[in-house]
A and B are shown apart, each in its own frame.
Chain A
Amino acid sequence: MAETKEKSLSDEKPKPRVRPIVRLGIFLISHSFHVSVVCCTAGVLALFLLPVLAKNTYISENALMPGSASPMLSNQHVSDGNRLVKDLTNPNSKSSETGIESHKIIAQYMLDLGAEVSFHKFHPQMNQFHPLHFFSSPDSGKIQENYSCSSYGINTVGIIRAPHGDGKEAIVLVTPYNALKSGFGEALSLGIAYSVFSLLTQVTWLAKDIIWLVADSQYGEYAAVAAWLREYQTPKFSSLSTPNAEMCPDVNNLFELKGHSISGSKFSNSFRRAGTMASALVLKVRDQNEQFEDTISIYAEASNGQMPNLDLINVVNYLAVHRQGLRVNVEKLWSLLNSSWLKSLGEIFESLAKVAKSLYPKWKFGIPATEYVEGTATLASSLYYQALGVPTGPHGAFRDYQVDAITLEISPKFSLDKVWRNDILLRGGRLIEGVIRSVNNLLEKFHQSFFLYLLTSPSKFVSVGVYMIAFAFLIAPLPMVAASLYVDANSSSNCSKGDSSTPSAITDTDEHSIAIRSWRWLNSAKLVFIVHLWGAIVSLLPYFISQIPDCSPTTSFMIWVLLSILSLLTLNSVLASPLACAKATQEKEWALVKSVTISSVFIGLGLMSVINFATAEIGALLMVPMCLLAQPLKLDVRAGTLRSFCRMICNLVLGHIAFPPAALFLLKGMLDGFGNANVGDFWMWVESLWAWNSATYLFIVEVTYIFSHG
């Protein structure tokens, strides 16, 4: 883009002979309207083509060698696991108020296997948005609030030291478990993990330590895992920490009990560590299921659209499908599955592919329409969850420390007989064993395969090189239109000057126009800068508002709106009343403002596409038309033609739709009827987003700011 823009600018005064590339640049800019329409359409079309262009996954790291060894998990281990499940589901174990009993049972089982066991006590930490922590790395410097002893969780951690390893690396197995109200599924997942664990204590091939974390999920699965990881990765060296869980009598009691009942060096009160984590698996078993076969769902999205290495998903997929005969699926947007327009689109693509194939037999890119619809649904959910920036499970906590992790959720076809239970224990256990064995083979951390991809099915993916094309098409009009507006604004001022001035006065007027011309955009840049500044202030406000105690979402939202308007007015008065200045300016000036705005949007979208592609893509879909269509209402009203009227309507509609509260309101309205939507929801939504430091949040500000221009 720089190329075209540069070329265009260099040719404000056309010379007789121009180089072809310059001529191309001029052509593009002079036809920027048509080009941008074509580019935008191509961008949207390319987005819909992505499921067709998806490639089959392949295991790129040779060292993984999934499924090369036959599984060693035998019925012996399965019956061990069964024993644990029975003990946990036994009503006696649930007698205790805090569920300590079941943790003791688990710890006892681990100790019996010869693993090192420790308890990790944590206080559930709410995700606090801190504006200045946004860009810094995860750190331990979080200030502990004063906790009461009533709310704490206990993670049980078992570690197997690898017989051949040097203790420098580890693989983590996580099973969320809520001791207070555990369903049968959670017990079953513990059973699977236990059977694998019991196998791994005996095998000789283990080169990495195994950590089994039973995460206490009574305060949410994510919080427990995140608390443990924080402790693991950022050791506290000072003993000055504020009163923590150790002070509470209840917990100490637990330890004493343990100390008495178990006399072994394997149990310790202190926090135990193994090496750096190579990867992590979160294992869950779903309670209810209406499916007809055993399926396993993979959740991979971590915070801010980060994905684990594709190889990890590949290994799981390969082992589940080809070794254990489980059906693998990833999250889909179910509402899209039944949409007829998507189906017809798929059919169009299919028939196109058929035509292409008949023309030239080597062109084989078509996929069946049903597959296309499924791929699109998966892709849409993949985009949605990446764009939202909220992790889809406890695995998200690992990604913050550069550990590749996924959540496996096994949903068995439900029946309660023992054979079935043994079967699911055996197959699930063998799957986990296979994955661990593969990861165990790794010599380096995962680096071979992709980190930036979108899934269209468990075995198909769209890599960064492909989906970036769609995005590039979509935002290509921005620099072009910006350049053409800029050139227009400059040349029009020249023309008017040229007409009015006689040759004798030409030097004088030229002097004027030159002094203004080349730096005239500074004024518009100032305006854009001020609006951005306002956006930044508005986005920081919720942090301060959330400090106010006892606020219902609706009131805090109102406070937010009020403060935002107030800050705009203040900025307006302090910084030389930029908006009034903009109103007074003429058409040309307005074109410059638009040009600067569009360039800033282009920079913003480009940045966002590097940070979080999905957000950038969705944002570009909204903002690119908005930017290109934007035109002052006054001018449109004055023009009074049909075309400008249509454009005005478009602007108003787009401006309102893209304004985030309005967008959410519409979405909510569509989903559950307009009756129960209120502004408080928006506050909750925003709160949940900033709690996760989501990039989407930054984006909202951007959109807000564009809106204020409209």
Chain B
Amino acid sequence: MEKVKKKIGSFSFWNWVTASIIFRLILIYFPKNLNLSSRPEVSTPLTSFRRLAEGYWLKQSFMSPYAGSMYHGSPLLLSLLGPLTINRIEGQPNHLLYSLVSVIADVVSAMLIRATGQNLRLAYLRSLESLDLVKQIEVSEFLFSGDIAALIYLCNPFTIVACVGLSTSPIENMAVILCLYGACSRLIPLAAFGWVIATHLSLYPAILIIPVIFLLGCGPDSPPRKLFLQRHQQKEVLNQSKLPPRFSWGPVIHFAFWAFLWSVYVLVLCGISLKQFGGLWEMFKSTYGFILTVEDLSPNIGVLWYFFAEVFEFFRNFFLIVFHVNILFMILPLAIRLRHRPCYLAFVYVAICSMLKSYPSVGDSALYLGLLGWFVNELADMQFSLFLFCGYVGVSLLSPVMHNLWIWRGTGNANFYFATAMVYACLQIVLVVEGVSAMLNHDRKLRNLITGKPQDAKS
């Protein structure tokens, strides 16, 4: 996954991109043998390709696409991707066109990640320059985080599996990345569009509005503002131009306006396409309602299905609230602590969502692992990296094995599979905790460099 990093020296970026695309195309030609689209790790009730095809079929036969609790995605996806589910080319694999769309979505996401990463790197260098730390931290050693992040996203087995497994998560991920890219490069309509579409498709990216506001208000990631002030106090020249800009409300209001516009547009489109089938209310009930009430308890790599299969019916609502408030609880403290690093905040939010969402899949992990690549320079001294790597490898191998034991061999049971889901959740927690603490340590190190204190081992 992250092996790519070191190879950049000897191999050009584009070679790897082509290699990963070719690898995907090869895999697309064996869809029957791999049978990935029926794996619970890849296709959840929200992202399953089969359900999309079913919804499209229902709609074609003038029934509500949400009839029978099969399809739970957006009606826009039905109109855009639906025709691809039945189009076939003679002599080619069945879903070639749809797979190609996923591949293109992946590549586009990778390119957007690359552009954003370059943006972030430039911003980081600029802030180091204004802090006069360029000499102390060898900038020439800096890795091109944009390239690395893009390659991590493209070569990550999780991304490849989600792409070849015909799930819709490449598209959802692309919307999220579009939103962050727009916010980083200050293309406000694009950011608003990405945010509205991402929220429309899978609800959870709604909380990305906080990092986006920070991004638009203060610009991309930089060391805390306090440091700049300290630096300039030392020099006793207050050079306003070198300070990062203060929070400005203009772009945020601009963003709000565009977001409103885009959401009205999307809702109108949905309303038109669902006019005969119960309208928008029906859509909200079977997409957002389905996500929030955890109706489908079929196994996935999350932890909620097992819990809600066990819980007593009259506690169900209580625990639904508890689980969803869990995400909301973490928003505020993290936003306060990491407000100077909005992109990193976005990464943490995405990781937390993919851990606590009701129907997680490996596509979500692919997204946040890709975003993690942006911060290779900052997170260079992250602890447990080997442990986390081994953990991810182990869990991603163990999960299909446990599923096989439970479903096919009949010698295991649901607890076997759930155990891997728990380990997976723990790994994600360790990743987030270590990542955040490494980032805070990095800030602390910068502060020590400025104040001239020797580096202490406080962590």
Contact = CB atoms under 8 A, between A and B. Distances in A.
Interface of A: 2, 5-6, 9-10, 13, 132-133, 135-137, 141, 306, 402, 451-452, 486, 503, 506-508, 510-512, 514-515, 517-519, 521-523, 525-526, 529, 576, 595-596, 599-600, 603, 606-607, 610-611
**3 nearest CB pairs, A to B:** A132-B33, A451-B411, A402-B410
A268 to B, nearest CB: 32
A9 B383 contact: yes
Contact of B409 (A402, A486, A514, A518): A402
A2 B404 CA distance: 25
Contacts of A506: 454-455
Given A508-B136, A511-B137, A525-B389, A607 B11 contact: no
Contacts of A525: 3, 386, 389
B90 interface: no
A576 B34 contact: no
Interface string B129-141: 0000000111001
A533 to B, nearest CB: 11
B144 to A, nearest CB: 14
B423 to A, nearest CB: 9
Nearest to B1: A525
Contacts of B385: 518-519, 521
B13 to A, nearest CB: 15
Given A507-B449, A610-B401, A519 B455 contact: no
Nearest to B442: A514
Given A132-B33, A402-B409, A596 B383 contact: no
B183 to A, nearest CB: 28
A141 B32 CA distance: 10
Given A576-B10, A603-B394, A2 B411 contact: no
Given A6-B384, A603-B397, 18 more contacts: A2-B387, A5-B387, A9-B383, A9-B387, A132-B30, A133-B33, A136-B33, A137-B408, A306-B411, A486-B386, A508-B138, A518-B383, A521-B386, A576-B10, A595-B386, A610-B402, A610-B405, A610-B416
Contact of A522 (B3, B390, B391, B409): B3
B426 to A, nearest CB: 9
A515 B379 CA distance: 9
Given A607-B397, A610-B405, A510 B33 contact: no
Nearest to A515: B380
B7 A576 contact: yes
Given A133-B33, A508-B136, A517-B381, A522 B411 contact: no
B410 A9 contact: no
Contact of B384 (A9, A137, A508, A517): A9
Contacts of B32: 141
A510 B449 CA distance: 12
Contacts of B404: 135
Given A402-B409, A611-B401, A13 B390 contact: no
A5 B389 CA distance: 13
B136 A507 contact: yes
Given A514-B380, A603-B394, A603-B397, A529 B11 contact: no
B70 interface: no
Given A13-B457, A136-B35, A2 B391 contact: yes
A610 B138 contact: no
30 contacts: A2-B391, A5-B387, A9-B384, A10-B383, A135-B400, A402-B410, A452-B411, A486-B386, A506-B455, A507-B136, A507-B455, A508-B138, A514-B381, A518-B382, A518-B385, A522-B3, A522-B6, A525-B389, A526-B3, A526-B6, A576-B11, A596-B386, A599-B386, A600-B393, A603-B393, A606-B398, A607-B394, A607-B401, A610-B401, A611-B405
